[in-house]
Copies of this chain bind each other. A is one copy, B any other.
């Protein structure tokens, strides 16, 4: 049996896992990224941890044939990182080369949202589908497009940056500095922001009561919980959220026409409560043939998506 190392390199923490070719997570550990040290130091600590994880399970090192790394930033040709979204490491860094030199094992690098899409396509909710788009909805909206066995990562690694598709011309300002981005309307954080604005004007609802009027406490989960209990104010917020999600997803369906859409990230915890309204509203925004035989599912890899997806680059 072949083994692989999957690495989910995050701003604060880095998750390292040993995964077999069927996608089983055999051993894993989370370490601090400490990106301020420098890229070489961080890679060394990651590689030392990986070797320990292999040793602990008595896996022969020669059976480890690939290292996959997910990066917060655009990646070209599964090797060069355009820039790291959160660290001050140098631009256009060939991380593949560095890791291969250190470990002697073939390494592939990919953007973290693309990695999740690859993971869901190979081991997760879209397993067996020829084409799928995975949409990770949390603080922002990340996406990855899997088409006929490959990720569409584009000329400079921007492919799949669906969160910055414009859904309102000259609309709300996004964290990226541009206006009207999909994630400025439909990310979990944007939903919470919209809810807070409405709560400032309307306190007569269950949601306000459930958070004891403390807007700083509000999370997307509270909105779905209150809606489930019948709160119309919260239902209206889900209407808003699902309408923008349907618009963005409908655009992707018209452009790519995949077999499967996978929803992952924080919002996906709402399950059918977000899937059903999206499905209903997609009819307004999508060419009908693209909806025939389309499957829309919640991602199945959860917290393991980063590590398993990095390994899926080799499968």
Contacts and interface: CB of A to CB of B under 8 A. Distances in A.
A265 interface: no
A269 B256 CA distance: 28
Interface string A144-187: 01011010111111111110111111000000101100000000
A182 to B, nearest CB: 9
Given A161-B254, A254-B162, A284 B74 contact: no
A21 to B, nearest CB: 25
Contact-residue size bin, chain A (C-beta under 8 Å from the other chain): 35 or more
Contact of A74 (B161, B167, B255, B289): B289
A250 interface: yes
Given A166-B250, A284-B178, A256 B154 contact: yes
Contacts of A292: 156
A4 B73 CA distance: 44
A145 B257 contact: no
Interface in A264-310: 284-285, 287, 289-290, 292-294
A258 B167 CA distance: 21
A247 B166 contact: yes
A253 interface: yes
A148 B166 CA distance: 26
A290 B154 contact: yes
Nearest to A285: B166
A176 B287 contact: yes
A11 interface: no
Interface of A: 74, 82, 130-131, 143, 145, 147-148, 150, 152-162, 164-169, 176, 178-179, 243-244, 247, 250-259, 284-285, 287, 289-290, 292-294
5 contacts: A147-B152, A155-B258, A156-B292, A158-B257, A158-B290
Given A74-B289, A161-B257, A165-B251, 16 more contacts: A131-B154, A148-B150, A152-B256, A152-B257, A153-B257, A154-B258, A154-B290, A156-B257, A156-B289, A156-B292, A157-B257, A159-B255, A161-B287, A162-B255, A165-B254, A166-B250
